[in-house]
Chain A
Amino acid sequence: AQSVTQLDSQVPVFEEAPVELRCNYSSSVSVYLFWYVQYPNQGLQLLLKYLSGSTLVKGINGFEAEFNKSQTSFHLRKPSVHISDTAEYFCAVARSGGSYIPTFGRGTSLIVHP
């Protein structure tokens, strides 16, 4: 089985500052990794995914994440945030070659202040 730990439940940051949302995972098999964003009263939208290949993954809205196998981490970063990035962010892991059903973390609330 896989599991995900999002180390921060809430991350406050000022507009135009950089941000990192931390995610660690646990799995005994190869995995796929994902970051999703959820805006208030909406469903989840995929920001980016790691399936294989380059460990630095670029996604939508200027976000990127780096897969670190030795540290079992998949931290999400953005060099300069906007007010509109205020949302809930979920890290997820799925067993590669399986049914691709993701296991989600508890989420990190990103709050961007003007």
Chain B
Amino acid sequence: ETGVTQSPTHLIKTRGQQVTLRCSSQSGHNTVSWYQQALGQGPQFIFQYYREEENGRGNFPPRFSGLQFPNYSSELNVNALELDDSALYLCASSLVGANYNEQFFGPGTRLTVL
């Protein structure tokens, strides 16, 4: 069974640029959630995708957008990067339909905005 994978591991961008982060779900999972973890903070929920539709969103501006593909992999896109977007971005997959669906986290992508 393959776990959640994310790419790239690290990324450096400059302010105003755009970035795309990728996530492959754990085998058999149909839901992907994205989190932003700033240095010294807990993860903050960005949004969740289920069956290729956004299924919930946290307090993040529209320049944070996402996609989920038919194979349940996902992308997080961030436009017009700001310095405060520097963080660890975590992806988590789960299986909706069970009474409780545990989220399994990937190792994250470290984004640095200069």
Contact = CB atoms under 8 A, between A and B. Distances in A.
Interface stretch (A45-53, A70-78, A79-87): A45-53
Contacts of A14: none
B100 A101 contact: no
Nearest to A6: B42
Nearest to A51: B100
Contact of B105 (A4, A45, A99): A45
B94 A90 contact: no
Interface residues of A, number: 22
Contacts of A100: 94, 100-101, 103
Q: Say whether chain B's binding surface is mostly helix, strand, loop, or mixed.
A: loop
A36 B44 CA distance: 14
Which size bracket describes the interface of B in this complex? 20 to 34
Given A99-B55, A100-B94, A100-B101, A43 B48 contact: no
Contact of A43 (B101, B102, B105): B105
Interface in B1-33: 4, 33
A109 to B, nearest CB: 9
Contact of A101 (B48, B102, B105): B48
B56 A101 contact: yes
A105 B107 contact: no
A36 B92 CA distance: 13
A105 B44 CA distance: 9
Nearest to A91: B42
Contacts of A4: 42
20 contacts: A4-B42, A41-B107, A43-B4, A44-B92, A44-B105, A46-B103, A49-B102, A51-B100, A90-B42, A92-B42, A100-B103, A101-B45, A101-B48, A101-B56, A102-B45, A103-B45, A104-B42, A106-B40, A107-B40, A107-B42
